Structure 1
């Protein structure tokens, strides 16, 4: 399918998906680590975030990024980069700032895991009844608070905000898009979903029909354009489930486009955002133009 050419926060600055640790690259701008006190579900919560800002005082268009979810608790706590430096610099080259919160249960933010869907696998069989609504709602709460904080900053263009996320962060981003926050011009979903088991049941999600119904609800509520980006060799969901999820979302009348790319060579297609830029760059560039993120 052809892509488009196409909660208030008590927040103040204290100091200056499944995502994995990444070493610095000398030719890329590195993140500023900030600590924010946000009202997450009305509870003051210290959230560590990575911030990338172009030179100057702004105001700049902003991408609010939602990271993915690693399989084990230790991997989640070891997470260093909520957005890869390379992808953040894709936005910086366009003159766009990036804010990527580390949600509770991950990395330096730490705390309790609020996003477990209980999609428990036993070998290649998933016998649980996962609650993807719980995952999406709890992950969205942090993004809502971070968005509210960002909209209060003088360097942010409040009328030029784009939502973006990868894996569980893609699901989170689409959940946030249902709020249709003024000034948010669109949402980008990289390989969004939940409940995958790439090692023992590659290409399958636990009870993917439950995600289909959740995406159907999201599609009925979302009014902004969305771009869905998946690779054919995604080992978390495979190629068929995302097509069903997208169809259910789009049936609600939301202006949405799906790009199912060719396989990401030499990698799990779930890493499309990190290792498949030639497959999606043109579509995302067109979407940025279509939603007017860079408009004067």
Structure 2
């Protein structure tokens, strides 16, 4: 497959959201479209466009330009690669589905030393419209095979592009995905491409409707058949993570899908996590405290042992947590932003930078999100307080 890429500037988005680094979103915040947040300078965010050619269920072929978001660590690399793949909103919401950033997952992976490439597939955001290569037909007679080919084709085009980047090491790469992106990861593993060492499937599948058919996806047996067949050619190990209160699939269907995959010869470690939020389907974004330990163990087995969990510093003697006037930020930030931190529930964290940046978060992955909010514009930040302790030292 031929892949062509061109640069696309994203700097114009900065001004509209100048204050996003000052106050974090809640623990249930979902992945953001790139026009909803400033460029993540600390993750060296870029967006490139590549050309992909895909065929839909009805044999219609199209070539489109899709955006690929790139996040990477500091330094020249080369860094091992993760290609992360997004989900699929239900039909009535798909026109509003923008590019998915998966910021907290991306921050976790960059912290472990990975370069992360996140393609927005054909039929979403920039290419939403009259061509949908992920259409699988009617609910009772779905054909997910052509969709699986189309999504994996786009991963392979992204991989071809990654091979041109001097800071990416494609001799060791992983594919990951959430929802339809999880199906994308499974489809990619079935092709056993060179350099692929593992994959993570977050809540993967197809055919769910949390409003019209909660916990009762369309034709789940078709995914069983597809994945049993695809498993015959799969070699890379996988980690499959689902949540008990997934309103797309329910708790039982994913287990049958996993049984089909392993019956076909595929290798996959399967875990059902406890209920998270109102709908665990998107819990990759808001239940990191619980899924990250599984990912850490899985990735360590593959040789990626750099910790992705940010350690909690010990309490310091700099100040008591409620001594607002001691916080080394501007007075306005102390009185507004830091007092919001003090009013938030535990677990919570507050981070500050040397030039006045600040970030706070409570709930899931509080330390990581507080640092992320603080560092978005590129300023290096340190934790000031965690829960009821000041941990900062001058």
Question: Does residue 287 in structure 1 map to residue 306 in structure 2?
Answer: no
Structure-to-structure mapping, 1:40-59, within 5 angstroms: 40=54, 44-59=63-78
Give secondary structure in 2 for the equivalent of 1:88. helix
1:182 aligned partner: 194
Give secondary structure in 2 for the equivalent of 1:82. coil
2:288 aligned partner: 277
Partners in 2 of 1:168 and 1:19 — Cα distance? 15
Partners in 2 of 1:200 and 1:37 — Cα distance? 35
Which runs of no fewer than 5 residues in structure 1 stay unpaired? 1-6, 121-127
Which residue of 167, 174, 181 corresponds with 2:179?
167
2:160 aligned partner: 148
Q: If the length of structure 1 is used for normalisation, what is the TM-score?
A: 0.86
Label 1:19 to 1:72 Cα distance change in 2 as closer, same or farther (>3 A).
farther
Which residue of 129, 132, 137 corresponds with 2:144?
132
Partners in 1 of 2:221 and 2:301 — Cα distance? 31
Partners in 2 of 1:225 and 1:158 — Cα distance? 17
Which runs of no fewer than 5 residues in structure 2 stay unpaired? 10-29, 56-60, 307-394
Partners in 2 of 1:294 and 1:60 — Cα distance? 14
Question: Does residue 32 in structure 1 map to residue 46 in structure 2?
Answer: yes
Q: Provide, for residues 4-40 of structure 1, a one-character-per-residue CA deviation record: whole Å limited to 9, x for no partner.
A: xxx3x32333334x96647438897473222223455
The answer to whether the 8 A contact 1:118-1:130 is kept is yes
Q: Provide, for residues 218-244 of structure 1, a one-character-per-residue CA deviation record: whole Å limited to 9, x for no partner.
A: 221110101100001100000101001
Give secondary structure in 1 for the equivalent of 2:165. coil
Partners in 2 of 1:143 and 1:270 — Cα distance? 22
Q: Provide, for residues 108-136 of structure 1, a one-character-per-residue CA deviation record: whole Å limited to 9, x for no partner.
A: 2335111011244xxxxxxx301111221
Deviates more, 1:31-40 or 1:91-100: 31-40
1:125 aligned partner: none
Give secondary structure in 1 for the equivalent of 2:121. coil
Partners in 1 of 2:186 and 2:50 — Cα distance? 23
Partners in 2 of 1:36 and 1:278 — Cα distance? 34
Give secondary structure in 1 for the equivalent of 2:231. helix
Deviation at 1:89, TM superposition (A): 0.8
Partners in 2 of 1:267 and 1:90 — Cα distance? 24
Structure-to-structure mapping, 1:13-24, within 5 angstroms: 13-16=6-9, 21=33, 23-24=36-37
Partners in 1 of 2:41 and 2:194 — Cα distance? 35
Partners in 2 of 1:129 and 1:20 — Cα distance? 33
Give secondary structure in 1 for the equivalent of 2:75. coil
Q: Provide, for residues 52-82 of structure 1, a one-character-per-residue CA deviation record: whole Å limited to 9, x for no partner.
A: 1111221111110111111126x33333332
Provide the alpha-carbon RMSD of the alignment: 2.3
The answer to whether the 8 A contact 2:5-2:48 is kept is no
1:67 aligned partner: 86
Give secondary structure in 2 for the equivalent of 1:279. helix
Q: Provide, for residues 235-255 of structure 1, a one-character-per-residue CA deviation record: whole Å limited to 9, x for no partner.
A: 000010100100110112222
Q: Provide, for residues 76-103 of structure 1, a one-character-per-residue CA deviation record: whole Å limited to 9, x for no partner.
A: 3333332321211111111111111111
Partners in 2 of 1:165 and 1:92 — Cα distance? 16
Partners in 1 of 2:6 and 2:297 — Cα distance? 34
Label 1:197 to 1:76 Cα distance change in 2 as closer, same or farther (>3 A).
closer
Label 1:29 to 1:158 Cα distance change in 2 as closer, same or farther (>3 A).
closer
Select the structure that is richer in strand. 1
Give secondary structure in 2 for the equivalent of 1:175. helix
Higher relative contact order (CA 8 A, sep 6+): 1
Aligned length: 278
Label 1:144 to 1:31 Cα distance change in 2 as closer, same or farther (>3 A).
same
